[in-house]
Amino acid sequence: MSIQEIKRRFGIIGASPLLDQALDTALRVANTDLTVLISGESGVGKEIFSRVIHSNSARKHHPFIAVNCGAIPVGTINSELFGHEKGAFTGATADRKGYFETVDNGTIFLDEISEMPMDTQSYLLRVLESGEFLRVGSSVVRKTNVRVVAASNLDLEKQVNRGKFRQDLYYRLNTVPIKVPSLKERREDIPILFKKFAMDFADKYRTSPIRLDDDAEQLLIGYSWPGNIRELKNLAEQLSVLSEKRVVSADELVTVKPKILRKSLPAIMSPEDSSMHERDLLYKVLFDMQKDMTQLKKLVYELVKSNNLEMPEYGATSFLTETNTRQQPSIINYPPDTFDLEPETVSETWTPTANVKPTVIDATMKAHYQQAEVVEESLSLEQMEKEFIAKALDKHKGRRKDAAADLGISERTLYRKIKQYGLDG
């Protein structure tokens, strides 16, 4: 079965390469009995992928069941999964089969597996490795032949590092990983999905479907969609009910969903936001200047120390904190261990050696430095800001997202600054 046939059968909308890649992996692994771990944000449709795997496997004529591990109370999850014997606990009035027993030869989808208690994880590991399990309150070992497809919206590797998930179970589940892309990773599918949800709503309630004008569609594409497809479907239904016109404008869209203005793409900012981001960028520039000055100081110290040079008073006072302001010698001859100390820790009792000439470079380099051209550095903050942005863009080969992260500003602020300084040419 091809990817396009899978999309038509399961109602999967979209032409994103990431979506097609995930579906292709699901089809390739379907004919095996390998354990599959599906990862992705909440609301991306992980359960659909588990059904795709089951329906294209040799187990398709056997039962399929989806279990939300986070929705089952901790005290009863072992009984739900593996069953229990009569009298095993209060309320156990009869023997009961668990999901692993009733779905024998079929497929069980364990959603939100990161919420599974640690003791249940050990029982699950035994089932995956040997197919054996025990009912709660029983000592009789039972066998099952169930394929497990697990899913999580959390990074299980991070959960392992935090001690909240068994490492051996993680590696046992992660035989074949499938990453379902979030809606913000497949923005090209957003208008198509919205149109589909609007038409479904219109067919159900026998009304004409709504559509978006160009500006409203751009707002839709630029939104981050933390709720993914569920959130998009809810918005389509809200607009279908609340919109007075069948063509939804950007203003009407913002009225129904004000958060739609929180975009990850370039956007017009309010004066308050603009001043805030400009201040952040200015702090970044000043911080980098201070760091450069500190490095320059260290370099000068090392040069003076390694060449056994002397420094005039105006050079020394910029590096050292003088505690005795009454004595202002014209030349300071540093003791041998001065440069092994922090500037503030130079002894106050030390006195300079007499008859020392103020030398910064030796005679062989003097003629060379006399030929150097003195260039006055621009102190314009705007110019420095422009140069920093240009350097960041050059460093990251025009990748604005990486340049914005390096500068410590938002991506939309960087877009605005590039336009302001004419750096987009």
Widest CA span in the chain: 104
User: How much is the pLDDT for 371?
Assistant: 53
User: How much is the pLDDT for 91?
Assistant: 86
pLDDT band at 300 (very low <50, low <70, confident <90, very high): confident
Query: Is-above-0.85 flag for pTM?
Result: no
Identify the weakest region by mean pLDDT among 152-161, 180-189, 233-242, 387-396. 387-396
Q: Are 162 and 66 in contact (CB under 8 A)?
A: no
Q: Domain spanning 269-303+361-425: which CATH class is it, in words?
A: mainly alpha
User: How much is the pLDDT for 225?
Assistant: 93
Averaged pLDDT for residues 347-376 = 49
Write out the residue limits of the CATH 1.10.10.60 domain(s) in the chain.
269-303+361-425
Position 33 pLDDT exceeds 80:
yes
Position 66 pLDDT exceeds 90:
yes
CATH fold label, 185-261: Helicase, Ruva Protein; domain 3 (1.10.8)
User: How much is the pLDDT for 328?
Assistant: 43
Sign of CA dihedral 84, 173, 167, 154: negative
What residue type is assigned to position 62 of the chain? H
User: How much is the pLDDT for 359?
Assistant: 46
Higher pLDDT, 353 or 113: 113
Mean pLDDT, the chain, rounded, equals 82
Q: What is the CATH number of domain 3-181?
A: 3.40.50.300
Q: Which two tokens stand for residue 71?
A: 């929705």
pLDDT band at 318 (very low <50, low <70, confident <90, very high): very low
Q: Are 224 and 182 in contact (CB under 8 A)?
A: no
User: How much is the pLDDT for 313?
Assistant: 54
Q: How many angstroms separate the CA atoms of 225 and 186, rounded? A: 11
What residue type is assigned to position 355 of the chain? N
Write out the residue limits of the CATH 3.40.50.300 domain(s) in the chain.
3-181
Position 388 pLDDT exceeds 60:
yes
- Residue 114's nearest CA partner among 60, 38, 205 is 38
User: How much is the pLDDT for 380?
Assistant: 65
Percent of the chain past pLDDT 90, that is, above it, reads: 56
Write out the residue limits of the CATH 1.10.8.60 domain(s) in the chain.
185-261
User: How much is the pLDDT for 266?
Assistant: 45
